[in-house]
Amino acid sequence: MCRRQTCFARRDDVTQMEIFLEHYFDLDVMREHFDKVLQGFWITVQLSLIAGVLSMTWGLVLALCRTTRSRLLLPLRPLTIAYIDVFRGIPLLLVVLLISGSLPFIDALPDWIRAPHLLGQPDIYWFGVAALTITYGAYLAEVYRAGLEAVPAGQMEAARSLGMSHPRALWHVVLPQAVRTVVPPLLNDFIALMKDTSLVQVIGVVEVVRAGREVQGETFNSSALTLGAVMFLLVTLPLARIVDRSLNGRQQLSKGLA
């Protein structure tokens, strides 16, 4: 606040550039609220990791159901396709609101769904995780499916001709090859998921964007949000580089194969 007053007092002799810098890159604001923003970022990281692992697992289950030839699982196929279409087609924010707004009031549901309190985190935190998992599970299912379909049919045939059952052939032969093609797009989607955790703030989870916004409201200065952006980039930029590198590596591998 005091910084802002001095800013007004010296208004005439400061350049527009300095005003800009002061609004976005005020080191004092950053320093003062660093702990709060960092705490928020820690929540962002937690949400990303938990929802990341869950949606990768869920997405794989969906992809296997969608590509299954097993007669037992065949009825699940249209359901899976419908699920994927629906959740790829509606905004994550809407899913967040759907879950948090009404699940707590449906008495028929067990408590761990209605009001989850795991690992010392409140229900809104877990509603956020659920929404991210539900939506990103649908995205990732398509990524896995593309990976599975990219493995030549001859691989499955070779495995079956050796007497492997379908699940064994999937597990020992097809999936290990699919994983290689799938890692770069999975990492891309992980980056997207991490950024989308910010939507969970609308139901009250103080992740990094919410933390920055609260500081912005207090100080009329956006530097805490800039700090949040820097924290994001510290994670997302290296990840993006890893994606690039693994794509290059794969190109070299496929050239070697040709």
Partner 1 sequence: MTDQATGVAQANIPKLRVEQLHKSFGSLHVVRGVDLVVPAGSVLSIIGPSGSGKSTLLRCINRLAEPETGEIFLDGSPISRLRGRQLDAVRRRIGMVFQLFNLFPNRTVLDNVTLAQCVVAGRKRVDAQERAMSLLDQVGLAEKASELPSRLSGGQQQRVAIARALAMDPEVMLFDEVTSALDPELVKDVLDVMRQLANSGMTMVVVTHEMSFAKDVSDEVVFMDNGNVVEHGKPDSVFTNPTQERTRRFLDRVLNP
Q: How far apart are CA 172 and CA 178, in angstroms?
A: 11
Among 12, 163, 217, 252, binds partner 1 (CB under 8 A): 163
Q: Should residue 68 be labelled a site residue for partner 1 when binding is judged by CB under 8 A?
A: no
- 209: CB partners within 8 A, 6+ apart: 40, 44, 198, 201, 225, 228
Write out the two tokens for 101.
């707004």
173 binds partner 1 per the rule CB under 8 A: yes
Q: Which is nearer to partner 1, 114 or 180 (CB)?
A: 180
Scanning 6-14, 75-83, 111-119, 155-163 for contacts with partner 1 by CB under 8 A, the matching segment is 155-163
35 part of the interface to partner 1, by CB under 8 A: no
Task: Quote the least distance from Cβ 257 to partner 1, whole Å.
Answer: 5
3-state secondary structure at position 17: helix
Interface map 179-208 toward partner 1 (x if CB under 8 A) = -x----------------------------
What is d(CA 93, CA 199) in angstroms, rounded to the nearest whole number?
6
The answer to whether 203 and 127 have CB atoms below 8 angstroms apart is yes
Q: Give the one residue of 31, 88, 168, 241 binding partner 1; rule: CB under 8 A.
A: 168
| Cα(27)–Cα(34) distance, integer angstroms | 10
Residues that bind partner 1 in the complex, under the rule CB under 8 A = 152, 154-155, 157-165, 168, 172-173, 176-177, 180, 256-257
